[in-house]
A and B are shown apart, each in its own frame.
Chain A
């Protein structure tokens, strides 16, 4: 099963952190720092896998992928396959890309809850439930539509989006 999903930037700022087993806030921070310190010591052109047992305890592997300013990190146990998880990260990023047209770090920061929605469609309770980015997109769009409909009564000021689009 998947133990944790993290997105952090190259400065070590956490952009998304989701743990599928409950951990205290302090512990989460400790793990995030631990992962970051390992990640930034990795050279270019090396494998995407890290033995994470010293950070996450027995039977944990870590797969990461570096996109522009972001690290995408999945932590999981021996019931998953490293290469497959690497592709799972690919699916996740592809989906984000479809959602935000050329996703960048800012999109992830500013659409915090949407990122969670997307991730929840892919990984559910630590298990991978959907691996097709178009299926995920469909589900997410439907959620957005319905949410917007249910919220139609209270109009939203557009100022925020105006600010973002600069």
Chain B
């Protein structure tokens, strides 16, 4: 039995393997293995086990662990075996520990010593076994213990040992670059090793080093090129040939390295052209490994500074790959094509049919690769076909990971290249319907924004049509069962905002649908919240239009349910709805203007509209507000008294949010209150406590407002970012009017011309195969029509965008705020609440007096803010910035996101306990609403004040 070599096994083990092999079920297998574990546990702890027996036990343990059972009881025995003198036993011990243990295992400490000793052994096999263990088991802390020995081994007479020592050093570099950074020059030295095997092994660490820092290795370009040349010319011994290829694995590694070194470096690339060209010519394309080398050549050619001749050879090889019957080669061909079209886009066209074939191939891997390629070559001319295909494919697969990826790609392409709003909305609907829970929430916000804003055309009619189309499609889609939450949110918002806008649908239709949604998805609070607010909007619009409002019975019962909801957010919305319904038409029109989601809401962070009021109060002898930071002593008292966890958590939250702007607080205090800065902090024990107790519970606090902020970043930029041009941004509004006129024309004509070309292609296409049709729509357009219409279209879009942005500066708000925040010290919550609070502190009963005002502000801002927030989520971020104490963590919960900040803005300083209560039970909302309307007017400053906004937005 020559094949047995030195690897003997006993009958017991063979029987075990056999019985496991014959096990019919997983349960049976488990039973056998558990039996085996019992046996081994018993046997392994017996005294005086012969080494040979012990070795076999350990192998059995390894085997058991491979089958997924815990063998940790035997780890210590494996460790013990590494100490043994016998090579066989020692090697088995090392094998077992490398499989059992990780570098942070407690037992490692027992092995390090042995490893140190073994690295110095005379027997090179012992050394190799130890090096193997070094790779797996040495961590950052233990590297210094073995590093000197490993360094010595780099000069070991046996090439196998040198090779492994290099790998061990490479491993150290991967684990902790700093600990071996002074030794990386050794890799360069080993490149000149006599043994080609060692040289080849050295390429692995060098590849990684070069990938991290190309510039320090530019000097090696010549060496690598000459090595590659020698290898390709068969200067190495025959032993390195593989399937008649000279050392192909070394060639591949070298080509990879050259690709890195030549990337964007003309001079370095020029050195490589000859040798790469030679390989292209010499390479045997009939063997697998030959093709591997060829593929690597293409990668190299597409990475280094382009050379027309090499690109030509690369294109030839690609077409050979794509024409091949082998799926592997097709796959490589598609991948290579994806690399090469970045440099020479025109080559895609000649392979269009091959690409279509791959797209329809049953092989999933190939299909995915092809979609990746299509994604790379999408343009405005072929976006419809590609995205359509992608969505079809997305629907057909179950793999959530890939579904998510492809959904986000669809969204990205649709946003970038959408030919029309209609198409965009339809596409988004499909994506949401089939992968709604997998796409990023900001995609939903984008869609809502688009529906609210339109594409920026001035034509209100088109916008209305768009909205109507959206509403219609949503009413239809609502019939489908089990829609994703995110999609439902969009639907509810759009229905609330535009459901009744053009009289196609009656309020009772829409409210009925909304109630159905709230009922059908009753365990999704976010959807319910959206539905409630949508209901409120519908009713408000009805009231404002002076129509009689009849609440549907199901709506009434829904409201009753929500008024008693456990969710404070839902409760608040229900109360707000109730309050709004009780108001007269004028007040409702003020707080809930129709189609105002795009209106600008400027936040008056200093609450300057209260200055007069405060001044008055102070003149009457009221005490000014004392900022929280100067009240620390008192806070401690309150802390002490309210040691329930509510209190603690609210503190925790606030503390984090405030931390940054703290220094600014002090410097800014006096501004409005110079007259009374010298006030001594007067403890007012009653208010901090109360405020916590009253404000906190009413504010929903899931975790995640921070998350929300993050995710929403950059939403604005997405839209047609490439189309904005700084030049147009400077033009003033009158000239823009004219620009606008012309651009309208341009846009229309380009679109129609595109259509024409698109259509004119069709007949000729239909003559032949359906595939060719697809190919034409994918590729054909790219070369023929693409140039002028595409750019024209873009330009048109750009200018119309500019116009839109300039006279409807709404979205600039967020940019402004983003910009403004860092520029002027971010005012924090203390700052905001300060004036109000100061005044209240003075009054005999300040809350009573302010109640109405605050209530109004709050209701109104909640109501008005809501649509804006859901539309342009960045505003949320702004709120979150300023109202640092934002307690609303419910991340999808935009409405309360806005209403709460305004709540927290004022009472957030812990000065205004009644506010939240009054939000639902405010005594005289009507007066206060009117006051608020005034406040809003004052607060809303035209953003044209700040010309930089445009630059920011457009640049």
Contact = CB atoms under 8 A, between A and B. Distances in A.
Interface of A: 1, 13-14, 16-18, 20, 22, 25-26, 28-29, 32, 42-43, 45-51, 53-54, 79, 81-84, 86-88, 90-91, 99-101, 107, 109-114, 116-117, 120, 124-132, 134-135, 139-148, 150-151, 154, 156-157, 159-161, 163-165
B869 to A, nearest CB: 34
Contacts of A87: 242-243, 248, 288-289, 292
A112 B206 CA distance: 33
Contacts of B62: 112-113
Contacts of A49: 328, 331, 365
Interface stretch (B8-16, B111-119, B692-700, B715-723): B8-16
A20 to B, nearest CB: 8
A163 to B, nearest CB: 6
Interface in B842-861: none
Contacts of B14: 110, 160, 163-164
Given A82-B331, A132-B239, A151-B52, A120 B201 contact: no
B86 to A, nearest CB: 5
A114 to B, nearest CB: 4
A83 B399 CA distance: 25
B87 to A, nearest CB: 4
Contact of B135 (A101, A124, A146, A159): A124
A54 B400 CA distance: 8
B328 A82 contact: yes
A159 B11 contact: yes
Nearest to B90: A150
Contacts of B67: 14
B68 A112 contact: no
Interface stretch (B165-173, B792-800, B829-837, B916-924): B165-173
A120 B366 CA distance: 32
B554 to A, nearest CB: 43
Given A81-B252, A112-B59, A146 B1 contact: no
B136 interface: yes
A101 B70 CA distance: 34
B164 interface: yes
Interface string B288-319: 11011001100000000000000000000000
11 contacts: A17-B66, A49-B328, A81-B256, A82-B331, A83-B289, A84-B289, A87-B288, A109-B17, A128-B249, A139-B160, A154-B52
Contact of B99 (A18, A148, A164): A18
B50 A154 contact: yes
B314 to A, nearest CB: 15
Binding site secondary structure of chain A: helix
B21 A13 contact: yes
Contacts of A90: 288
B325 to A, nearest CB: 9
Given A86-B288, A113-B59, A127-B204, A91 B242 contact: yes
Contacts of A28: 68
- Listed from nearest, the 9 A-B pairs whose CB atoms lie closest are A83-B292, A22-B102, A54-B401, A125-B135, A47-B327, A46-B363, A144-B5, A29-B68, A150-B87
A51 B368 contact: yes
B288 to A, nearest CB: 6
Nearest to B8: A156
Nearest to B51: A154
Interface string B167-185: 1101100000000000000
Interface string B394-416: 00000111100000000000000
B11 A163 contact: yes
Nearest to A141: B5
Nearest to B197: A130
Contacts of B65: 25
A160 B8 contact: yes
B123 interface: yes
B502 interface: no
Nearest to A101: B3
Given A148-B88, A154-B50, 6 more contacts: A13-B21, A117-B91, A126-B135, A126-B171, A129-B201, A151-B89
Interface string B359-397: 001111110110000000000000000000000000000
Contacts of B3: 99-101, 107, 111
Nearest to A133: B242
B909 interface: no
A130 B51 CA distance: 31
B242 A131 contact: yes
A82 B332 contact: yes
A46 B366 contact: yes
A49 B400 CA distance: 19
B652 interface: no
A129 B163 contact: yes
B240 interface: yes
A132 B159 CA distance: 15
B11 A160 contact: yes
Contacts of B7: 111, 113-114, 144
A17 B123 CA distance: 28
B778 interface: no
Nearest to A88: B249
Most buried by B among A26, A81, A147: A81
B165 to A, nearest CB: 10
A19 B549 CA distance: 68
A67 B317 CA distance: 29
A47 B50 contact: no
Nearest to B289: A87
Contacts of A142: 125
Contacts of A26: 68
Most buried by A among B65, B99, B207, B328: B328
Contact of A146 (B10, B101, B123, B296): B123
Interface in B256-281: 256
B132 A127 contact: no
Contact of B132 (A120, A128, A154): A120
Nearest to B132: A120
Interface in B675-689: none
A47 B365 contact: yes
B6 interface: yes
B8 A81 contact: no
Contacts of A100: 3
Given A49-B331, A124-B167, A43 B363 contact: yes
Nearest to B287: A87
Given A111-B7, A143-B125, A124 B292 contact: no
Contacts of B239: 132, 134-135
A84 B249 contact: yes
Contacts of B13: 160
Given A110-B17, A112-B62, A125-B171, A83 B52 contact: no
Given A29-B68, A147-B88, A164-B1, A47 B6 contact: no
Nearest to A115: B7
Given A14-B67, A48-B328, A84-B249, A146 B95 contact: no
Contacts of B399: 54
A55 to B, nearest CB: 9
B247 to A, nearest CB: 8
